[in-house]
Amino acid sequence: MTVGERGRLAERPRRSRFLLIVGLFAVAGLQPAAAEEPKAGVVIDVNAGKRTLYPIAVPTSLEGDSGVAKEISTVASFDLNVAGVFKVLEPRSFLADLRAEGIGIDPQKWKDVGAFGVIKYRATATDIEFRLYEVSKGANASLTKTYSRKQSTRQIVHLWCNEVVKFYTGEPGFFGSKIAFTVKGKGSNAVYAMDFDGANAFKISNNSSTNILPAYSPSGGQIAYTSFMRNNPDLYVGPAGGGRPKKLSSQRGMNTGAAWSPDGSKIALTLSKDGNAEIYVISASDGSVIKRITNDKSIDTSPAWSPDGSQLAFVSDRNGGPQIFVVSSAGGTPRQISFNGSYNTTPAWSPRPGKQVIAYTTRDGGRYDIVTLDLQTKAMTRITQNEGNNEEPSFSPNGRAIAFARTGQGVFIANADGTGKAIKVWGGSATGVDWGPAPKD
Amino acid sequence: MSFKDGEMHVMAAFGAAFLSAALFVPTVWMADARADHTPVLEEMEAIEASIAVKKAPAMQPQKKTQAKPAVVKPDGVSRDETKVVDDKSCKQDSDCPAGRVCVKSVCKLPDKVAKTETDPLGKFRRPTDDETPTGKPTTEVGTFNDNERGFAEETKGHPFFQKVARDFVENFEYPKILAGESATGCIHLLADGKIAKFKVDPKSGEATLDDAVERALKKMQTLRASSPEAPPIELLKQATTRWICFNTGKLQRAE
């Protein structure tokens, strides 16, 4: 190696260092604008966006008894699905490692599947612990509750889901409430009651005659229904859990379509004691007539109280076909409120505070469907369409859902805002649906 | 046997009374009998009898359904709506279509002719009514005033920014049971249309709303990474050197 060669070799690192620095500057100069911090922005007011149901995940716990864990997630998923405010996410999409997570959550994993809320639980032999997480608020639970397993698992889950609904909406949930209905049989009809989700159905009436149009008292302790057991359609009131009923009204002719006043002291019903079907209000304790509400040669039936007890909705054919009318519960001149189509029957008043919404059965193109009418805005919402014949709506205790009978198919519940599809909760030939009050805490 | 006038009247009165009684008594008796028979519920039948008034059939309310996707028409020869008709060649005015004149072997509109031709006496002419501008261009919202995009809210701003804002709206989902103060989400676009980075600034203070905005921005970033849409050349600097932000406005709790 010559001196000159050595000199060149010694020069190489210096030259390459120089080239490296020049290269870095060149690269830096060619970098796109991404590296620069953008200036103050252009703000576009969008003032919109999709207002959706609340996406919530109810993964099946991998801890403890798998049978109980499965039942909890099934019941909770059903409850939250029909609550009218949640969208329960499909478990197959979950990315989280449930075994590693245990009763906690990894928020990012749930964010990635679109969940806003996650329900976790742990069932032991003595109790069930539930936790509600809001994904955006991290790994700390927003709501925690532990229930002793003195009640059935199903009842405990209903209680927890009511807490979840209350947490988000401030309203009581309707999980654990009951629905009464008439089951059509050969030669006789019987009054039944069941949990709102179709579980635990049992017979209320105990005779071989025709028993129709059940109505829960506001306390939920009694059921009024019309029975032909003494050959005349008389009104009976019995314990909601079943048992011997008491005859409350046995006027000559019809004693049908009982509706309890919100305070439970009165019952509005149809009597035909004077030859024509009219709306009356009777005492809920002794059946004595307090007031005759309608007086018209037409047929007036199906009374329904407004939530504050000041008004009654009913059906009358005084202007031609059957239409819905509203009258003061102190009496007065009724005003027609339904004008769609030529056949509108079986009104039910929404219990939502501050709202005046009535659901009823309407006939459209030979089919019967459920609609709601807002008396303040006159806006109508269709609850069912192209799904058989649907009749006799009844609101859930918080007014977010509607139960109704689908001819020949059973009892269904649907969101009261018209979104989503109705869910079958009882299969069979049912009619005369009445949703009972909210369960007691 | 003969009757006097008075006797005849008496007999007629008796006869009329008898006949009336014979008709009245069975009628009353039958009506009472009908009233005794009160129909029971099972025997009753509701008969619908509408008043004979001819009305246009009212439309029943329809159940809420999702809107159908927009129909995409196939491309065809008639789709090019921007194509301008070629000026026709001509030798004289009669060779041109109605309303056009032949200028230098080409059919042209008369006003174009006037502008292109030099008028030696032009400086001595007073302007006619046709040449005097009348009125002022309106700037009312939505009214056409020669601005290619008009002044309507829907057409305000450049279509590129409208498209980006629409992307945000489509990806922003917020549960209707929640309310929230306004939050602002911003993106930093690259020249190729991809999103370099995003931020929520200023935040609303409501963790769920800020999170919903962040989710929307993240979705936009993912979508634009796979199918980027570069800003038009005239907006390149404006769109890539500044944050493009979307303000949600105050969100009310929906029932």
pLDDT tens for residues A38-70?
777 778 877 767 788 899 999 999 888 888 999
A28 at interface of B, judged by CB pairs closer than 8 A:
no
Subunit contact A137:B177, Cβ cutoff 8 A: no
pLDDT in tens, B118-137: 667 766 766 666 665 555 55
Token pair belonging to A374: 């807002």
Measured distance CA(A141)–CA(A134) in Å, rounded:
7
Same domain, B226 and B182: yes
Does pLDDT of A337 surpass 90? Answer: yes
Residue A393 inside a domain? The answer is yes
CATH number at residue B189: 3.30.1150.10
Higher pLDDT, B142 or A99: A99
Residues of B in contact with A278 (CB under 8 A): none
Higher pLDDT, B165 or A271: A271
Best probe of the A interface among B177, B187, B241, by most A CBs < 10 A, is: B177
* pLDDT range class, residue B220, cuts 50, 70, 90: very high
What pLDDT was estimated at residue A32? 43
Cis peptide before B202 (omega within 30 of 0): yes
Same domain, A102 and A138: yes
pLDDT in tens, B178-203: 888 888 999 999 999 999 999 998 88
Does pLDDT of B81 surpass 70? Answer: no
Residues β-bridged to residue A395 = A402
What pLDDT was estimated at residue A31? 41
Q: Range of B102's domain?
A: 87-131
Subunit contact B48:A322, Cβ cutoff 8 A: yes
B198, B191, B196, B199: which is closest to B229 by C-alpha? B191
Same domain, A155 and A210: no
Does pLDDT of A27 surpass 50? Answer: no
Same domain, B123 and B164: no
What pLDDT was estimated at residue B57? 65
Residue B227 inside a domain? The answer is yes
Residue B103 inside a domain? The answer is yes
- Residues 412-431 (A) with a CB less than 8 A from some CB of B: 417-419
Count of residues making up chain A: 441
Same domain, A155 and A299: no
A111 CB contacts (<8 Å, ≥6 apart)? A135, A136, B211, B215
Tell me what the pLDDT averaged over chain B comes to: 75
Subunit contact A32:B207, Cβ cutoff 8 A: no
Subunit contact A254:B175, Cβ cutoff 8 A: no
What pLDDT was estimated at residue B160? 87
Q: Range of A423's domain?
A: 178-435
What pLDDT was estimated at residue A90? 94
Same domain, A117 and A249: no
Residue A244 inside a domain? The answer is yes
Residues of B in contact with A53 (CB under 8 A): 175-176
The minimum CA-CA distance between B151 and chain A, rounded to whole Å, is 16
Smallest CA–CA distance from A301 into chain B, residue: B46
Same domain, A159 and A250: no
Instruction: Quote the percentage of chain A above a pLDDT of 90.
Output: 78
Number of domains in chain A: 2
Does pLDDT of B36 surpass 60? Answer: no
Does pLDDT of B33 surpass 70? Answer: no
* pLDDT range class, residue B56, cuts 50, 70, 90: low
What pLDDT was estimated at residue B136? 55
* Residue in the structure block whose two tokens are 């006097």: B4
Same domain, B179 and B233: yes
Same domain, A159 and A203: no
Out of A125, A140, A169, pick the residue that ends a domain: A169
pLDDT in tens, A341-358: 999 999 999 999 888 999
What pLDDT was estimated at residue B116? 52
Subunit contact A44:B246, Cβ cutoff 8 A: yes
Same domain, A357 and A252: yes
What pLDDT was estimated at residue B5? 67
What pLDDT was estimated at residue A9? 40
What pLDDT was estimated at residue B114? 52
Residue B118 inside a domain? The answer is yes
Q: How many helices (H) and strands (E) are present in chain B, helices listed first?
A: 5, 6
Residue A242 inside a domain? The answer is yes
Subunit contact A53:B60, Cβ cutoff 8 A: no
Q: 3-class DSSP state for residue B208?
A: helix
Residue A395 inside a domain? The answer is yes
Does pLDDT of B92 surpass 70? Answer: yes
Residue A374 inside a domain? The answer is yes
Same domain, B243 and B162: yes
Does pLDDT of A33 surpass 90? Answer: no
Residue A18 inside a domain? The answer is no
CATH number at residue A110: 3.40.50.10070
Best probe of the A interface among B176, B182, B200, B242, by most A CBs < 10 A, is: B176
Subunit contact A43:B172, Cβ cutoff 8 A: no
Q: Which of B87-101, B161-175, B223-237 has the lowest mean pLDDT?
A: B87-101
- Residues 57-116 (A) with a CB less than 8 A from some CB of B: 85, 111, 114, 116
pLDDT in tens, A286-336: 999 999 999 999 999 999 999 999 999 999 999 989 999 999 999 999 999
**Partner-chain residue, chosen from B63, B161, B242, that has the shortest CB–CB distance to A39:** B242
Does pLDDT of A108 surpass 60? Answer: yes
B57, B59, B61: which is closest to A369 by C-alpha? B61
CB atoms under 10 Å from CB of B95, counted, come to 13
Measured distance CA(A260)–CA(A218) in Å, rounded:
7
Residue B228 inside a domain? The answer is yes
Q: Which of A14-28, A208-222, A345-359, B190-204 has the lowest mean pLDDT?
A: A14-28
What pLDDT was estimated at residue A279? 96
Same domain, B179 and B226: yes
Could you tell me how far CA B206 lies from the centroid of its own chain?
34
What pLDDT was estimated at residue A19? 47
Out of A169, A193, A223, pick the residue that ends a domain: A169
What pLDDT was estimated at residue A24? 43
The minimum CA-CA distance between A424 and chain B, rounded to whole Å, is 18
Burial label, A346 (beta-carbon count in 10 A; 0-12, 13-18, 19+): buried
Residue A11 inside a domain? The answer is no
Query: Which amino acid would we find at residue B58?
Result: A
Tell me what the pLDDT averaged over chain A comes to: 89
Residues β-bridged to residue A253 = none
Residue A82 has phi, psi (to 5 degrees) of: -95, 5
Instruction: Read off the pLDDT of each residue in A209-231 and give the average, rounded to a whole number.
Output: 95
What pLDDT was estimated at residue B102? 82
Q: What is the largest CA-CA distance in chain A?
A: 134
Same domain, A284 and A421: yes
Same domain, A372 and A410: yes
**Partner-chain residue, chosen from B191, B243, B254, that has the shortest CB–CB distance to A32:** B191
What pLDDT was estimated at residue B7? 82
Residue B243 inside a domain? The answer is yes
Does pLDDT of B83 surpass 80? Answer: no
Residue B206 inside a domain? The answer is yes
Does pLDDT of A421 surpass 70? Answer: yes
What pLDDT was estimated at residue A13? 46
Residue B114 inside a domain? The answer is yes
Subunit contact A233:B40, Cβ cutoff 8 A: yes
Same domain, A162 and A219: no
Q: 3-class DSSP state for residue A332?
A: coil
Same domain, A373 and A226: yes
Same domain, A158 and A215: no
What pLDDT was estimated at residue B44? 60
Residue B184 inside a domain? The answer is yes
pLDDT in tens, A128-186: 999 999 999 999 999 999 999 999 999 999 999 999 999 999 988 999 999 999 999 88
CATH number at residue A335: 2.120.10.30
Out of A169, A186, A217, pick the residue that ends a domain: A169
**Partner-chain residue, chosen from A38, A232, A317, that has the shortest CB–CB distance to B242:** A38
Same domain, B162 and B199: yes
Higher pLDDT, B147 or B163: B163
What pLDDT was estimated at residue A11? 47
Number of domains in chain B: 2
